[in-house]
Structure 1
Amino acid sequence: MIPIRASLMRGGTSKGLFFLAEDLPQDSAARDAILLAAMGSPDERQIDGVGGAHPLTSKVAIVAPSTREDADIDYLFLQVAVDKAVVSDSQNCGNLLAGVGPFAIEQGLVVPSDNYTDVRIHMVNTGTLATARVQTPEGKVNYEGDAVIDGVPGSAAPVYIDFLDVAGSSCGHLFPTGSTVDCIDNTALTCIDNGMPVVILRARDFGLTGQESPQALENNNELKAKLESIRLKAGALMGLGDVSKKTVPKMTLVSAPVKGGAINTRTFIPHRVHEAIGVLGSVSVATACVVDGTLANAYFEQAKQLPDSTVCQLAVEHPSGAFSVEMDVRGRSAIASFCVNRAAILRTTRLLMRGEVMIPTNASQNSDI
């Protein structure tokens, strides 16, 4: 067995292993073999690894000193499939991002300040930037506090994250098709990428209320087949190429809010249904809400009263609660003039365990560790 230093952390509503880049092979194939063994994939239960048998608990963050002058650290996110021998770098993860700043501070990559520390993070997957504000009283990361986020029991210290330049980060454009509404398989949809490529569809167009449980949606094989057909075509339309083996775009069914929020969502990620909604997925949906003409905008009643340039806070409802997103935008009446000045969210994180994850020798025999 080969020991490799790692920390197990919850970030937002996700959980995963955090590594220093120097502790893993540079060769991606060798690295991926190690990560599959660490998580226990491919196996639906991930019984021979530390994965939690769900995409939200089978994630990896790899952190290193930044290669950019405008960032402190580099963060590479990898999604480890549960039942397949697949490791994907095709997307960011905004939930796991909440743990990246604290991890970097604890590993000595960032020097902490006395009260709080702003960590500038280069998200390697898309080449974009985010800043995480981490509480560091007396120069030590604080994980305990009163901040509460839906989908996570209890409370913890807040981690505020500003996304600085994520519009079109994967597709090249905020609205990659150049339109607020497209049609695929006789179904209207909005394609958007403000940090996460998302296809927004109306739940009612599939005979749904939008309030179905994640389990009920996962058990609906006819629905999943329709969504996958649309997803494959939308991926090409959005400039993502063949997405049959990619985890993007995410497919989000929207409906009228039921808890006083801006909009209600159910998100396929892309084949399992999220128990909540991803951080950057919620940012993309919130962005669509404030732009006139999108499918999401039609459900956001307050949009009618918003000025063309505005700072507003939206609650994006999901199966386990709601996600608050602060938007600072201008030119929202037309996509040609629309610009996102800032998108910010609140997350929490917790260090669960640190030490060494043990890798079978046969999984690491071709690596340079």
Structure 2
Amino acid sequence: MINSIPCIIMRGGTSKGPFLRMNDLPESPEARTETLLNLMGAGHALQIDGIGGSDPLTSKVAIVERSQHPEADVDYLFAQVDGPGRRVDFNPNCGNMLSAVGPYAIETGLVEALDGMTVVRVRNLNTQRLIECHVPTPARQILYEGDTRISGVPGTAAGIQLSFLDVVGTKTGALLPTGQAQEVIDGVEVTCLDAATPTVLIDARAFDLTGNETPAELDANALLLARLEAIRREAGQRMGLGDVSQGVLPKPILLSAASEADATLRARYFVPHRCHKALAVTGAIALATAVSVPGTIANRIAVTSGRLIDGDSLDHARLEHPSGYIDLDIEHRGQNPHDVARVSLVRTARKIMAGTLYYPGTVTGNLSASATEAKAC
């Protein structure tokens, strides 16, 4: 049986995928999960029977609906679909896809556009945090074209400012879930930190790397990937996330001194079993937060490389990644490095197509893990 659903495919930041209304999806978490798997073509490496792009960055779904929260206009649920497998992970958030949530909400009439700039208040259901999306809407029309350039995306587009509120402890309830700024796992010094997303920060030199390796070089290093996965799983246990072998959190990040004089750090971000070709927004927020926290791997590298004076807190960070860099503004409460009120950055988005998405009905496969994860959200 062929099913259909209204859909807008959008690029958000350095990610791309279908944007759907929650009200158009089945109410049952199990049926919702199966629908996402089938429309993305999960279970095949190329996702040939769906619209997934056979890459983690293009196998993402944004689900949006009018919010009942008094401080939000819309709710946003992010779903990471495992292309080769048949799993959907609702635990992580995606800040890149989030950059298109504001335009999507206006496109679908969930939010009325104002003349000039429309602020769309978003509640992220994955983290239960609020984000303000500043969408340019001259003459009450969404402006997609502009001169803002972000690394990892060709050309330019209109800038959309995202302000993430209260980013600390989104999944674990604490900035440093283990109570330590630095600890040792499998003989390697790490920082387990939760700001926008749980991460495991590691000095690239611990693996005899410069930190300037390309994603392809890192992906081809089977020994490195195995070590990172072992560290990630143990970190997940220590952070109170349980058995993370079937999930994508926490995310490992290899850090090194920045090569540019105006940059703060250089990062290689894993998603988690492949190196990101750029840097996830939530991972960037975690790093921008970590730099000012005494004792973290990020703080140590920034201090020893002369990018930060020991004891200071940053209000702006520039992070190098394989495709370029990303800039973030950080606002601390009372200059307390452990208490971040807001992190803001600029992304871009583009509407690619709007119409009806057709997908098959029941597809034979292992749905148990997906259904369990769907219930957890």
Same topology, TM > 0.5: yes
Distance in 2 (CA, whole Å) between partners of 1:362 and 1:194 is 38
* Structure 1 match to 2:327: 324
Deviation of the 1:44 alpha carbon: 1.4
Task: Report whether the alignment pairs 1:64 with 2:88.
Answer: no
Q: In structure 2, how many angstroms separate the alpha carbons of the residues matched to 1:357 and 1:177?
A: 44
The letter for the 1-side match of 2:141 is K
Residue 298 of structure 1 corresponds to 300
Distance 2:220 2:137 in 1: 44
Q: Which residue does the alignment assign to 1:361?
A: 361
Question: How far has the Cα of 1:299 moved from its partner?
Answer: 2.2
**Is contact 1:257-1:299 (8 Å) kept?**
no
- Contact map agreement 1:79 1:89 (CA 8 A) in 2: yes
CA–CA distance in structure 1, aligned partners of residues 355 and 188 of structure 2: 49
Deviations 1:210-235 (A, max 9, x none): 11110111111111111111100100
Q: Which amino acid aligns with 1:32?
A: T
Structure 2: state its 5+ residue gaps. 365-377
Quick one: which amino acid aligns to residue 78 of structure 1? Answer: A
Map of 1:1-369 to 2, 5 A cutoff? 1-260=2-261, 261-300=263-302, 301-304=306-309, 307=312, 312-330=315-333, 338-363=338-363
The answer (yes or no) to whether the contact 2:50–2:359 under 8 Å persists in 1 is no
Q: TM-score, normalised by structure 1?
A: 0.94
Equivalent residue letter for 1:296 = A
Matched residues in 2 for 1:352 and 1:296: separation? 37
Q: Distance in 1 between matches of 2:206 and 2:361?
A: 51
Distance 1:98 1:304 in 2: 33
For structure 1, list consecutive stretches of 5 or more residues without a partner in the other structure: 365-369
1:75-116 Cα offsets, whole Å, 9 max, x none, are 000000111000000111100000001000110111110001
Kept in 1: contact 2:292–2:312 (CA 8 A): no
Distance 1:172 1:305, change over 3 A: closer
Contact 2:38 2:361 in 1 (8 A): no
Whether the 8 Å contact between 1:114 and 1:137 is mirrored in structure 2 is yes
* Residues 221-257 of structure 1: per-residue CA shift (max 9 Å, x gap): 1111111111001001111111111111000000111
Q: Give the 3 Å change call, closer, same or farther, for CA 331–91 of structure 1 in structure 2.
A: same
Deviating more after overlay: 38-47 vs 348-357: 38-47
Structure-2 separation of matches of 1:331 and 1:288 = 17
Aligned in 2, Cα 1:331/1:228: closer, same or farther, shift over 3 Å?
A: farther
2:369 is aligned to: none
SS state at 2:224 partner: helix
Q: Given that residues 290 and 332 in structure 1 are in contact (C-alpha distance below 8 angstroms), is that contact kept between their aligned partners in structure 2?
A: no
Deviation per residue, 1:308-359 (Å, 9 max, x gap) = 5x6x2111111000111111125668x6xx2112211110000001111111
TM, length-normalised to structure 2: 0.92
CA distance in 1 between partners of 2:10 and 2:202 (Å): 33
Cα 1:307/1:224, change in 2 over 3 Å = closer
Aligned to 1:367: none
**Is the alpha carbon distance of 1:363 and 1:25 closer, same or farther for their aligned partners in structure 2, counting shifts above 3 Å?**
farther
How many residue pairs get aligned? The number is 360
SS at match of 1:230: helix
CA distance in 2, matches of 1:330, 1:202: 28
- Asked if structure 2 preserves the Cα contact closer than 8 Å seen for 1:285 and 1:296, the reply is yes
Distance 1:227 1:332 in 2: 33
TM-superposed CA distance for 1:67, in Å, is 2.1
- Give the CA deviation at 1:40: 1.1
Q: Aligned partners of 2:161 and 2:183: how far apart in 1?
A: 34
Shift in Å, 1:48: 1.4
